[in-house]
């Protein structure tokens, strides 16, 4: 028995070591057309021939420079291109080229499905135009998945794949640990929870929803390996971890949502719980981008829950009768699309204004309260006393606006 367990442990260890091998990440990148940059002379030869590959620099969202090296450029443009080529450095001065633009843009889209821009666009769109009840519950899953994922990263403390041999196409999150991939966790939990929560509530083929969820998850997971930010093991662990969290939380979503809406002291408990979780996460490790992201997620979750409570208490949340389920998918008309786009544009303007105003207020206020010099804002924001209240309050107000302020505005202007 002991020998069998020892043998199983050895096989498991070999499997994890194999999945964590950075060479596998590098091989996948080469397979997809990501290669180390050739020498300066070779670049000049390629450009003179007019078929030089696209060059990209690692940045927050892979907004690398795309150059074709075509002949006949103006002198000013050539100078600008030369200056940019000299700055095409990734982590540790790396240079790389992209030989397959289609895969680059596809995987850039995949990695954006786990970034703030997607969340602040997708969740409000779903809540304002599709189904607020499903949106609230998906956000509960998202908050717990991301929080547990970020905390687990800091507790395990495994670094991201080393470079070289891996080429880092994205460096903004490189200060964070890698195990598990929170992009993979969100890319698994969001589409699966949407499928589980909408099936039986809306009329659509289950097979279509399942295929969409699989494609979404696969695209996000492969994008993290393509970008050089995670090993295969990080991604696999993220998927399995998200499924486990979803198994635990999905049966409780009705209870959680009903508590948020109806319990008299729900806002006080929600704010206190999310704030306590934020303080705990900030004590796990030294500063990294994950701390601010965690505070943003917790603040957004608290704001959404509190906004839902206020809307329910004032009678603005009207849930349909169970007899009307499942809902038919309405025909896509110009009027429907026009109203949806108008809601999104008006709502996002309000959200961005609230975020900007709260940022201007909370950072100086936190610096003043805790006696922290505010001359260097970037340095001040890395202090827990500033970053936690700034992120928590700012994104808490954004979440509150998503569920209460903006829908009330829609009612007032006749867009509800």
Q: Which residues pair with 170 in a beta bridge?
A: 59
Q: Looking at 106, 127, 156, which one is the last position of a domain? A: 106
CA distance 208 to 210: 5
Core vs surface per residue 285-299: b (16+ CB within 10 A) or e: beebebbbbbbbbbb
Q: What mean pLDDT comes out for the span 274-289?
A: 75
64: pLDDT strictly greater than 80: no
340: pLDDT strictly greater than 70: yes
Residue 87: predicted pLDDT: 30
Catalytic residue among 56, 95, 230, 309: 230
In sequence order, which residues have a C-beta less than 8 Å from that of residue 2 and are 6 or more positions away?
A: none
Residue 53: predicted pLDDT: 44
**Is 309 part of the annotated catalytic residue set?**
no
Write out the residue range of the structural domain in which residue 372 sits: 108-413
Q: 150 and 201: one domain?
A: yes
Task: Evaluate whether 160 touches 177 at the Cβ level (below 8 Å).
Answer: yes
The edge-to-edge listing of strands for the beta sheet with 34-36 is 34-36, 96-98, 54-55
Residue 4: predicted pLDDT: 64
Q: Count how many domains the chain has.
A: 2
CA distance 218 to 213: 9
Q: 328 and 196: one domain?
A: yes
Catalytic residue among 56, 95, 183, 312: 183
Residue 59 Cα to chain centre, angstroms: 16
Q: Looking at 88, 106, 124, which one is the last position of a domain? A: 106
Residue 247: predicted pLDDT: 93
Confirm whether 12 is domain-assigned: no
Least confident segment among 205-214, 235-244, 280-289: 280-289
Task: Evaluate whether 289 touches 160 at the Cβ level (below 8 Å).
Answer: no
State how far the alpha carbon of 176 is from the alpha carbons of 84, 148, 153, 188, in Å: 27, 14, 8, 20
Which one is predicted more confidently, 209 or 64?
209
Question: pLDDT of 66-88, one tens digit each?
Answer: 433 333 344 443 433 333 333 33
CA distance 64 to 170: 9
Task: Evaluate whether 289 touches 175 at the Cβ level (below 8 Å).
Answer: yes
pLDDT tier for residue 387 given thresholds of 50, 70 and 90: confident
Task: Evaluate whether 364 touches 374 at the Cβ level (below 8 Å).
Answer: yes
Q: 252 and 144: one domain?
A: yes
Q: 172 and 94: one domain?
A: no
Please choose, from the candidates 323, 207, 301, the residue with its C-alpha nearest in 3D space to the C-alpha of residue 256.
Answer: 301
pLDDT tier for residue 29 given thresholds of 50, 70 and 90: confident
Q: 72 and 203: one domain?
A: no
CA distance 350 to 409: 10
Confirm whether 212 is domain-assigned: yes
pTM, two decimals, is 0.81
Residue 286: predicted pLDDT: 64
Q: Which two tokens stand for residue 134?
A: 């499903």
Core vs surface per residue 161-187: b (16+ CB within 10 A) or e: bebebbbbbbbebbebbbbbbbbbbbb
Q: Which residues pair with 35 in a beta bridge?
A: 97
Q: What mean pLDDT comes out for the span 104-110?
A: 91
CA distance 346 to 71: 44
pLDDT tier for residue 139 given thresholds of 50, 70 and 90: very high
Residue 5: predicted pLDDT: 65
State how far the alpha carbon of 342 is from the alpha carbons of 129, 271, 337, in Å: 10, 31, 8
Question: pLDDT of 220-260, one tens digit each?
Answer: 999 999 988 888 999 999 999 999 999 999 999 999 999 99
Residue 245: predicted pLDDT: 94
60: pLDDT strictly greater than 50: no
Q: Looking at 106, 128, 159, which one is the last position of a domain? A: 106
44: pLDDT strictly greater than 50: no
Residue 377: predicted pLDDT: 67
Q: What mean pLDDT comes out for the span 253-275?
A: 92
Residue 192: predicted pLDDT: 94
Q: 293 and 368: one domain?
A: yes
Task: Evaluate whether 309 touches 267 at the Cβ level (below 8 Å).
Answer: yes
Least confident segment among 105-114, 164-173, 181-190: 164-173
Confirm whether 52 is domain-assigned: yes
What percent of the chain is modeled with pLDDT above 70? 79
Residue 259 Cα to chain centre, angstroms: 27
Question: Which range among 159-168, 290-299, 341-350 has the greatest average pLDDT?
Answer: 341-350
**Is 230 part of the annotated catalytic residue set?**
yes
Which one is predicted more confidently, 285 or 10?
10
Q: Is 332 helix (H, G, I), strand (E, B) or coil?
A: coil
Residue 401: predicted pLDDT: 94
Q: 112 and 101: one domain?
A: no
Q: 97 and 130: one domain?
A: no
What are the DSSP E strand ranges found in 177-222? none
Q: What mean pLDDT comes out for the span 210-229?
A: 92
Q: Cis bond leading into 326, ω under 30°?
A: yes
284: pLDDT strictly greater than 80: no
CA distance 82 to 107: 27
What is the H or E stretch that residue 54 is in?
Answer: strand 54-55
Residue 82: predicted pLDDT: 37
Please choose, from the candidates 313, 336, 311, the residue with its C-alpha nearest in 3D space to the C-alpha of residue 408.
Answer: 311
Q: What mean pLDDT comes out for the span 317-337?
A: 81
376: pLDDT strictly greater than 70: no
Residue 1: predicted pLDDT: 64
In sequence order, which residues have a C-beta less than 8 Å from that of residue 224 and are 6 or more positions away?
A: 111, 181, 183, 184, 230, 234, 235
Side-chain half-sphere CA neighbours of 195 within 13 A: 20
Q: Which residues pair with 11 in a beta bridge?
A: none
Which one is predicted more confidently, 318 or 72?
318
Confirm whether 277 is domain-assigned: yes
Q: 38 and 115: one domain?
A: no
Q: 177 and 239: one domain?
A: yes
Query: If you search the block for the tokens 């450009």, which residue do you land on?
Result: 47
Q: 114 and 98: one domain?
A: no
Q: 158 and 271: one domain?
A: yes
């Amino acid at each position: 028995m002991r020998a069998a367990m020892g043998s199983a442990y050895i096989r498991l260890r070999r499997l994890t070591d194999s999945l964590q091998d950075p060479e596998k990440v590098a091989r996948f990148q080469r397979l997809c057309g990501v290669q180390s940059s050739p020498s300066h002379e070779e670049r000049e030869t390629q450009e003179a021939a007019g078929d030089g590959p696209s060059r990209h620099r690692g940045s927050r969202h892979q907004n690398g420079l795309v150059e074709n090296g075509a002949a006949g450029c103006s002198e000013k443009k050539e100078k600008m291109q030369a200056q940019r080529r000299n700055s095409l450095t990734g982590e540790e001065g790396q240079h790389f080229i992209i030989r397959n633009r289609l895969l680059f843009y596809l995987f850039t889209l995949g990695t954006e499905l786990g970034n703030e821009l997607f969340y602040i666009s997708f969740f409000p769109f779903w809540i304002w135009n599709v189904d607020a009840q499903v949106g609230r519950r998906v956000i509960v899953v998202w908050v717990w998945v991301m929080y547990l994922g970020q905390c687990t990263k800091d507790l395990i403390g495994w670094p991201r794949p080393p470079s070289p041999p891996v080429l880092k196409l994205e460096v903004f999150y490189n200060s964070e640990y890698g195990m598990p991939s929170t992009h993979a966790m969100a890319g698994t939990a969001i589409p699966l929870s949407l499928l589980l929560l909408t099936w039986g509530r809306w009329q659509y083929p289950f097979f279509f929803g399942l295929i969409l969820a699989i494609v979404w998850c696969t695209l996000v997971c492969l994008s993290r390996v393509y970008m050089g930010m995670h090993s295969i093991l990080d991604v696999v662990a993220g998927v399995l971890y998200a499924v486990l969290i979803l198994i635990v939380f999905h049966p409780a979503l009705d209870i959680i949502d009903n508590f948020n809406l109806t319990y008299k002291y729900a806002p006080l408990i929600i704010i206190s719980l999310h704030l306590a979780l934020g303080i705990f996460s900030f004590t796990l490790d030294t500063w990294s981008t994950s701390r601010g992201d965690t505070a943003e997620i917790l603040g957004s979750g608290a704001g959404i829950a509190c906004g839902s409570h206020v809307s329910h208490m004032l009678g603005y949340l009207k849930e349909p009768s169970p007899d009307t389920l499942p809902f038919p998918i309405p025909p896509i008309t110009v009027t429907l699309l026009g109203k949806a786009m108008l809601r999104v544009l008006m709502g996002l303007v309000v959200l961005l204004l609230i975020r900007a105003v709260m940022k201007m207020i909370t950072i100086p206020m936190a610096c003043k309260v805790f006696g922290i010099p505010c001359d260097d804002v970037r340095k001040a924001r890395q202090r827990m006393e500033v970053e936690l209240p700034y992120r928590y309050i700012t994104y808490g107000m954004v979440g509150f606006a998503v569920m209460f302020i903006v829908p009330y505005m829609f009612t007032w202007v006749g867009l509800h």
